[in-house]
Amino acid sequence: MLVALAGGVGAARFLRGLLRVHAPSDLLVVGNTGDDLRMHGLAVSPDLDSVAYTLAGLADEERGWGLAGETWNVGDALARLGEPSWFALGDRDIATHLLRTRLLAEGATLSEATAEVCARLGVPVRLLPMSDQPVETRVEVDGPGGPEDLGFQEYWVARKASDPVRAVRFRGAEAARPAPGVLEAIGSAGGVLLCPSNPVVSIAPILAVPGIRDAIRAAPCRVAAVTPIIGGAPVRGMADKLLPAWGVEVSARGVAGLYAGLADAFVLDTVDAWQADAVAGLGLQPVVVPTLMRTVEDAAALAKAAMGAL
């Protein structure tokens, strides 16, 4: 069994490629829930949904989040009623959140609700949230009027990542437990993959759930990480704003430094081949291949290279 730690769209695209070269029944995906929020009373899990929608073949490829063929009538009507409109929920997407919210209100755990949503969407792999307890990524910024503590989506969507970041924290992480099955899967895994996701707000929240980092360290298998940074910039997202807040260089070798002692191999792009020695110096086997995923074939080739390092 392979275990993959995943954030949003980058991870989703990588995993879709992985499924071209690996059996879905032999993959467990552990998704980040630090980005989760309540919107209009609905439980929204953006990273779980990005993985689920993409692997079910339902994602809007262009936008990078949400469902294809989306319409926006409910959001427009809510805005007319004076409800917040900074976080756009499409009509079809709202159906997912209604189902998840009902299941949670009836007493299901987030793992159970996620399994149900995935089964109904036709997601071919097992997708688990990192935890059934809430862990909230908080971004402390220098706002226009002084220091502010923002929820991740407030920072990224409402404020467009425009405020200088002072710190990133995972509220609730200390009290959270890994979702049922996560530690067992890691403990018996044939390989662990850290997907090409933002290391600060996608992978770090998963590793912040007590027990997960230690389980990966102690796993009887190899661990390979894939860079989300190519040529000193993230392919999409805000890693360039967040890595410096942790004193980390916005580069493949900077990300590799965050995974030193955890991963055995690090996949970096050919344009960053000159950083391979620095990666090796951190104790990680460098694997230099094209990492930009323009097509599913690109993603499959990247996944094959990452698996080859396990």
Residues that bind ligand FO1 (CB under 6 A): 7-8, 35, 44, 46-47, 49, 65-66, 87-89, 93, 153, 156-157
State the nearest-atom distance from the C-beta of 180 to ligand FO1, in Å.
Answer: 24
Nearer to ligand FO1, 151 or 286 (CB): 151
Nearer to ligand FO1, 198 or 275 (CB): 198
State the nearest-atom distance from the C-beta of 85 to ligand FO1, in Å.
Answer: 9
State the nearest-atom distance from the C-beta of 7 to ligand FO1, in Å.
Answer: 5
Nearer to ligand FO1, 88 or 271 (CB): 88
Nearer to ligand FO1, 31 or 191 (CB): 31
Nearer to ligand FO1, 279 or 293 (CB): 293
Distance CA 101, CA 45 (A): 11
State the nearest-atom distance from the C-beta of 66 to ligand FO1, in Å.
Answer: 6
Nearer to ligand FO1, 163 or 191 (CB): 163
- Start-to-end Cα distance in the chain: 12
State the nearest-atom distance from the C-beta of 220 to ligand FO1, in Å.
Answer: 31
State the nearest-atom distance from the C-beta of 226 to ligand FO1, in Å.
Answer: 16
Q: Measuring CA to CA, which residue among 70, 73, 52, 48 is closest to residue 60?
A: 70
Nearer to ligand FO1, 50 or 111 (CB): 50
Chain centroid to CA 308: how far?
22
State the nearest-atom distance from the C-beta of 208 to ligand FO1, in Å.
Answer: 16
Nearer to ligand FO1, 63 or 217 (CB): 63
Nearer to ligand FO1, 22 or 97 (CB): 97
* Under 8 Å between Cβ of 158 and 131: no
Distance CA 265, CA 283 (A): 8
State the nearest-atom distance from the C-beta of 137 to ligand FO1, in Å.
Answer: 9
Q: Which residue has the CB atom at the shortest distance from ligand FO1?
A: 8
Distance CA 134, CA 121 (A): 24
Residue 306: count other Cβ atoms within 10 Å of its Cβ: 28
Distance CA 76, CA 240 (A): 32
State the nearest-atom distance from the C-beta of 171 to ligand FO1, in Å.
Answer: 16
